[in-house]
Every structure is written in C-alpha cells, then in structure tokens.
Structure 1
Amino acid sequence: MSTPRRGDLPLHRLDVPLPHLLPFAIGSFDDIGPLSRADFPHRHAFYEILHITGGRGSHVLDLTDRPLDPPHLCVITPGQVHHWQDAEGLTGHVILFNEDFLLTHPEDAAALERLAERPWLRLRDRHDDIAHVLDAMEREYRALREGYAGVLNAYLHILIVLALRACDDAPGTERAPASGGRAVDVAGAFTRLIAAPGAAARSVAAAAKELGVSSGHLHVLVKEATGQTPGRLIRRRQTLEAKRLLARTDLTIRQVARDTGFADPAYFSRFFRRETGLSPGEYRAAVTARPGRVAGEKHHDPTLESLATARTPTVG
C-alpha cells in the first residue's frame, strides 16, 4: 500500500503472487487477507469483483451504505472509494486484476464500468451459473496447468457476460443513486466515454465538451471521484489499447501509433516506454515469447506494483 499524503485516501495496489505471473488473483476473503475486508475508506489501483455468498454487515461504496443480503455480485473499478462496515463471516470469492488482463476482450472494460453502476447486484436465478464459473476459475488458477492464462481470460469474460445478463434481468436497471453527487456522476460518464470503441485518441478537452463541462471542472470532478486526473485515465486507456494492438494484431508500430491517437510514431514510442518501461517492439517480442506475462516490464502504471513471494494473492 502506498503512503498517502495528509488528507489523501490509502491506495491499494495488486501484488501478484508466485508462481503466478499474471496481473490476476482469485480466492476467498481469507485467501486474499485482511485488506479484502478493510474497514477504512480506500481506493484501488485495480479492478475487484466480489461474489458474496454469506456474512453480515454492510459495504460502503462511493459514500453509499449497502447492507448485505447475499448472494450479491459487486464490481469495484480503479479509483472508487469503498470500505466494509461491521462485516462478519464474509464468504464467497474475491477476484483482483488490472487492465492488462482485459487485452483479449477490451470491450469488457466498458462492461465493468456499467456493472459498477449497479453495486450489490442481486443474482437471483443467475447465481448458480455465476457460482459455477467462479468455482471453475479458482480451480484453474490453483492448478497451474498449461494454457491457464487463456482459460482464466475466457472465464472472466464469461463471468462479465453473465453478470450483465443478471443486471438486465434485475428490476429497476437504472443507475442506483449515489450520495457521492456530481463528481461520481461525471467521473462515471467520463470513464465510459473513454472506454468506448475508438475513443483512444480522445482528449480531455473533447471529453469535457461532450459532457458539457469545462476542462478545469472535469479535472476537479474526476480527481475527486477517482483520485486520478482525466489525462492520466486517458493515458492508461491509450496504453491498454496499444498493448492490445501490439499483442493481438500484425499492425506496424506506425499503424498502432495512428490507431491510438499519435500522429508521430517516434513520440508514441517515447510515450509507450514511459508508461510501460519497454519500447513497442520490445513489448511485442516479450508478450509473443511468453503469453500471460511480459518479462521485464516495469509497470509504471500503478495497476501492478510488484511480484510477491507469497503463494496466496494479496493486496497492499
């Protein structure tokens, strides 16, 4: 966990455990550890999906208190503020991953933002299907069989699709009101906007114009709600799209630069190295050589802090 400045909320980062070399972890609340049920407000630099099958207490997300009434599914996106209140006996699954794990299905980033608008989704008739996928995902994670990274990617995509169906099935599918106010609303609209297909080249000014606010006001609201600036979130989205194109297509570096909003390939290369620690060519060579992990990547983006030596997944 990073050391916050006075007045800042703690920012939890994802420590990827050995022998796993993925920006992904799944386990029970006990497996993940005490921070999985932290009772103090904090933010994440990664995604978290909570599948709650039992327990008492409540979960506070973006200042809104939601009592437990299992079974629930909850998606927490990077930057959201949350904590547990009087929670006891929590059972179920905790899934942690960063944006790099969405490269196979980049559309899942927008889907996760949509699901985050319906926290504490009651699963009803979808619970058995979702529980089955999560059980299979955890078995695959622990077995470490050949090709497990691709299987986990597929399971995560299936889980997200099933959760969206549960969201569509649930009564009152409009966004639940949040007491976080305008900052939460605008930040949510902004993150959906930059996650939309073809939005990699969007500027802060263009996003502000589309949302009907000034660039300065957008900066204040997004920083208040997520702890990050709009520019930083756009750079993260550009980096993720560049990684996807480098890993999954045969486009040239020049073409990848163009498709992610950079007219100058040289500037794109400098940008990519600053964000990841590797040149675009080095990234493509490394991810092709070892699917599921990029050897040597520095991960300047705070979605992945370090490799841990513990066997069980942890947050810090």
Structure 2
Amino acid sequence: MRGTTVLPGGPCAAARDGEPPVHRLELRLPEQVPFAAGGFDAMGPMSRADYPHRHTFYEIVHVVEGSGVHVLDTERYPLRPPQLGVILPGQVHRWEGVRGLEGSLVLFTPEFLVDGPDDPRLLRRLGERPWVDLDAAAHERTSRLMEELAEEYRSGDDGFAGVLRSLLHVLLVRAARVPGGRPAAPAPRGLAEDFLGLTGRAAEGLSVRECAGRLGVSPGHLNEAVRAATGRTPAALLREARVREAQRLLVATSLSVRQVAARVGFEDPAYFCRFFRREVGRSPGDFRKHHDRPVPSIEADSPPA
C-alpha cells in the first residue's frame, strides 16, 4: 500500500498460511518518515480493498461520500457519511459492497509516534469506538485537519515531520471528543500501559508471569498496577486478547477450528473450544456460522497485497 514502510515494489509483510494478507506502508524514499496522507485515489487501490487484510500501521479514515459497509474484525459499520474511523495495527478489515467511496486517509506506523507519548493512549481509546458519525461542526474541523496533513505531507518542507506529528496529535485529541460509542475510560499509564502493549501478542500464549518477566517486575506487582489502572486483572485482559484474535481468524479466514486453536496458542483444540465457549457464550463453530458471509479467498490465489 502506498506510503508505508517498504520501498515501492517491495512485498507486503508475509502472512501465515491461510491468514489474511498483511499490508505495510510503502515509503517513497528510504529516509522518509513512516507516514502518508491523502485521498483514497492518492493512496492507491489497496485503500479500498474488499478482501480481509491486516495492517502493520494505524489508519484514520474520514469518509465523506459513499455507501456500503466497513467490516472491522467482527463488527459491520454501514457507511453514513460523514464518519470517522480508526483501524489499529493487527485488526482485520475490508470494504464490502461500497459505491462512490470518497474521503481522506492518514496512515502511520507506531514508530512515527515516538515523540508523542500521549498518542498511543489516545489511539487505544479511539480503538474502543472505532467508527463514529460526525456532526456538521466536527466534519468541518476534521476536513480542515485532514487537508492540512495531506498538504504538509505532499510538501516535504523542512521540519515537516514535526508539523505532521503536531497536526496528528490535534486530530487524535479532537477525535476523542466526538460523542459516540461507550465513554472512554481514563487512559492507563506507566507499567499498565506497557502491559497493554504486550496483550497484542497474547496469541503467542503469553502468561501473566511471562509478561511480568519481560517487563522486569513480579507478577504480583504487575497485577496490582494493571488492576489499579484498568479495573481488570492482567489474566482477564490476556484472555480477552486471545479471544479477539480467535474471533478475527474464525470470521476472516477458512482455517479450521483446530488451526485457529493452534494460531492462538492452544495445543489442545478441545480445550480451546471449552475456553472459547466460556468466554464468548457459543462454540467456535457456532460463532463462525453466525458471522458467516462470503468473502474473497485469502489463500495463495488471493489479490496481491
């Protein structure tokens, strides 16, 4: 996809067999910042991809025209422009049955946020309500910011990376103010935030003890810090992350339940089925049937990423 962390013509990140392709940002120059902004046409055909895929980068999308559905993980969001969406790295998404889709995109990698310590927290909060309707005033403010970001990105003038980070921060703060979805909880900080960063790797089967070891603290201290910041235990958050990844694979791939179990760190498929039923309230097979919709193949003959 144009604008990401590989040079033009480079491959997308390799996906495991049977899993959705993974799109990476394509940089115009080796030394360029991992950021891109512009309209759907400027970003290229991948910006309207109608097959399930993941990103290694964040995407903020401002939809101003079009009809159809945006599918993000297991949720479906009908297009009712103007709307603002946030797609986090690792989520599976696609555009379904869209017509006349127009708007603007901002794409950037986690590395781009190195100088904005509050921005990852804002993005995590936005990810809790990833698709919101905009009123006229919010739509106008968002349009101006998206255009400023695109202009600054195109200009490449001295200091443009700092300007982009500043404008992006303003966009995230204002997006967090838009009503919609459930209220965002106070953003965790410090150790709890570092732990939340590890939950994205829960599919590896990480335990609380292993997470504590990676963070250089005892399991008891990690439990106290995470519970104080989020109201939940590390074990519960790790379970939630594994369930979320299993749901993505069940909905967006043709992998068998046994294969899904292995991909999210379960050696015993029967134990995985019991775990999934306990957490979700239905078996993996029933969950897949409930969300069963024909999607393009993601096997070897799927569209190039």
> With structure 2 as the length reference, what TM-score do the two structures score?
0.61
In 1: Cα distance, 2:163 partner to 2:39 partner: 20
- Does residue 78 (structure 1) correspond to residue 67 (structure 2)? The answer is no
User: Which secondary structure does the structure 1 equivalent of 2:86 belong to?
Assistant: strand
Aligned pair partner of 1:130 in 132, 135, 142: 142
**Shift in Å, 1:215:** 9.2
Q: In the alignment, residue 111 of structure 1 is paired with which amino acid?
A: L
Aligned pair partner of 1:163 in 175, 198, 201: 175
- Does residue 204 (structure 1) correspond to residue 215 (structure 2)? The answer is no
Q: Deviations over 1:176-197 (max 9, x none)?
A: xxxxxxxxxxxxx9xx76xx33
Aligned pair partner of 1:5 in 9, 12, 16: 16
Q: Deviations over 1:158-214 (max 9, x none)?
A: 101111111xxx255348xxxxxxxxxxxxx9xx76xx3344664625467844437
Decide whether aligned partners of structure 1 residues 229 and 162 sit closer, same or farther in structure 2, where only a CA change above 3 A counts: farther
Q: How many aligned residue pairs are there?
A: 212
RMSD between superposed Cα atoms in Å: 3.1
In 1: Cα distance, 2:13 partner to 2:106 partner: 21
Decide whether aligned partners of structure 1 residues 92 and 19 sit closer, same or farther in structure 2, where only a CA change above 3 A counts: farther
In 1: Cα distance, 2:43 partner to 2:194 partner: 37
User: Which secondary structure does the structure 1 equivalent of 2:190 belong to?
Assistant: coil
Q: How does 1:152-301 map to 2 (within 5 A)?
A: 152-166=164-178, 170=179, 173-174=182-183, 196-199=189-192, 202=195, 204=211, 206=219, 210=227, 211-212=232-233, 213=235, 217=239, 220-221=242-243, 223-224=245-246
Contact 1:50-1:94 at 8 Å conserved across structures: yes
Q: Which residue of 1 aligns with 2:75?
A: 64
Aligned pair partner of 2:107 in 77, 81, 96: 96
Contact 1:78-1:226 at 8 Å conserved across structures: no
Decide whether aligned partners of structure 1 residues 38 and 201 sit closer, same or farther in structure 2, where only a CA change above 3 A counts: closer
Contact 2:73-2:91 at 8 Å conserved across structures: yes
Q: Deviations over 1:77-123 (max 9, x none)?
A: 11111110011221111111011111221111111111122122112
Q: Which residue of 2 aligns with 1:283?
A: none
Decide whether aligned partners of structure 1 residues 37 and 198 sit closer, same or farther in structure 2, where only a CA change above 3 A counts: same
Q: In the alignment, residue 65 of structure 2 is paired with which amino acid?
A: G
In 2: Cα distance, 1:104 partner to 1:79 partner: 22
- Does residue 48 (structure 1) correspond to residue 59 (structure 2)? The answer is yes
In 2: Cα distance, 1:224 partner to 1:120 partner: 22
Contact 1:79-1:225 at 8 Å conserved across structures: no
Decide whether aligned partners of structure 1 residues 71 and 217 sit closer, same or farther in structure 2, where only a CA change above 3 A counts: closer
Decide whether aligned partners of structure 1 residues 217 and 71 sit closer, same or farther in structure 2, where only a CA change above 3 A counts: closer
Decide whether aligned partners of structure 1 residues 143 and 40 sit closer, same or farther in structure 2, where only a CA change above 3 A counts: same
**Shift in Å, 1:16:** 1.6
In 2: Cα distance, 1:144 partner to 1:42 partner: 30
Q: In the alignment, residue 40 of structure 1 is paired with which amino acid?
A: Y
In 2: Cα distance, 1:119 partner to 1:214 partner: 22
In 1: Cα distance, 2:239 partner to 2:180 partner: 34
In 2: Cα distance, 1:68 partner to 1:108 partner: 26
Q: In the alignment, residue 53 of structure 1 is paired with which amino acid?
A: V
Q: Relative contact order (alpha carbons < 8 A, sep ≥ 6): 1 or 2 greater? A: 1
Q: Which residue of 2 aligns with 1:38?
A: 49
Q: Deviations over 1:266-290 (max 9, x none)?
A: xxxxxxxxxxxxxxxxxxxxxxxxx
In 2: Cα distance, 1:117 partner to 1:2 partner: 26
Aligned pair partner of 2:37 in 15, 26, 29: 26
> With structure 1 as the length reference, what TM-score do the two structures score?
0.59
Contact 2:73-2:248 at 8 Å conserved across structures: no
Structure 1: gaps (5+ residues): 176-188, 231-314
**Shift in Å, 1:146:** 1.0
* Percent pairwise identity: 40
**Shift in Å, 1:222:** 5.9
Q: Which residue of 2 aligns with 1:254?
A: none
Decide whether aligned partners of structure 1 residues 149 and 229 sit closer, same or farther in structure 2, where only a CA change above 3 A counts: farther
